[in-house]
């Protein structure tokens, strides 16, 4: 009876355009809201995974291969699969509720999320999160 759908939990999106992508929960709405009367959460995920970097890559190539493209989405709980992994990247200040209202705010937030993901990827931690799920 432990609550496991918490901010920081790594999940896999199961439905929609981003099916098969790994994401991290930023904010949960267990009770739902007026517009979405079901349990849902705001996730920040990886749209384009970073490519595999090998030893003989030059610095320029490594930089190009380590790029990440992020997405933000409100998903229903039944459309995600929680995993046992977590990703403790602080995205609460960047990804807020009003970000999803307008397009340019969303793009700006995605850019900032992308920067945070890339910096986390470069440290070499959370390797599972940044590998593509093969299916």
Partner 1 sequence: MLQRLYNQHSETLAFPFAATAEAGGFCLAHPLLSPPPRRRRRSLVTGATMVVAKKTKKTQESINNRLALVMKSGKYTLGYKTVLRSLRNNKGKLVLIANNCPPLRKSEIEYYAMLAKVGVHHFNGNNVDLGTACGKYFRVCCLSIIDPGDSDIIKSMPGDQ
Among 8, 14, 69, 74, binds partner 1 (CB under 8 A): 14
**C-alpha torsion sign, points 71, 113, 89, 67:** positive
Interface mask (CB under 8 A) for partner 1, residues 90-129, using x and -?
----------------------------------------
Q: How far is the CB of 130 from partner 1 (least distance, A)?
A: 15
Among 66, 77, 112, 120, binds partner 1 (CB under 8 A): 77
Among 35, 81, 101, 127, binds partner 1 (CB under 8 A): 81
Q: What is the DSSP letter of 22?
A: E
Q: Please write down the HEC assignment for all residues of 30-73.
A: CCCCCCCCCCEEEEEEEEECCCCCCCCCCHHHHHHHCCCEEEEE
* Residues lying near partner 1 in the complex (CB under 8 A): 1-5, 12, 14-15, 19-20, 30, 39, 77-78, 81-85, 133-135
């Amino acid at each position: 009876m432990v609550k496991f759908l918490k901010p920081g939990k790594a999940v896999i999106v199961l439905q929609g355009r981003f099916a098969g992508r790994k994401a991290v929960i930023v904010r949960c709405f267990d009770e739902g809201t007026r517009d979405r009367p079901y349990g849902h959460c705001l996730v920040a995920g990886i749209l384009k995974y970073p490519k595999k970097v090998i030893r003989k890559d030059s610095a320029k190539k490594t930089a190009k291969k380590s790029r990440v493209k992020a997405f933000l989405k409100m998903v229903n709980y039944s459309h995600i699969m929680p995993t046992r992994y977590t990703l403790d990247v602080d995205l609460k200040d960047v990804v807020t509720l009003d970000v999803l209202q307008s397009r340019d705010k969303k793009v700006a937030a995605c850019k900032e999320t992308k920067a945070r993901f890339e910096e986390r990827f470069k440290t070499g931690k959370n390797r599972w999160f940044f590998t593509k799920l093969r299916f």
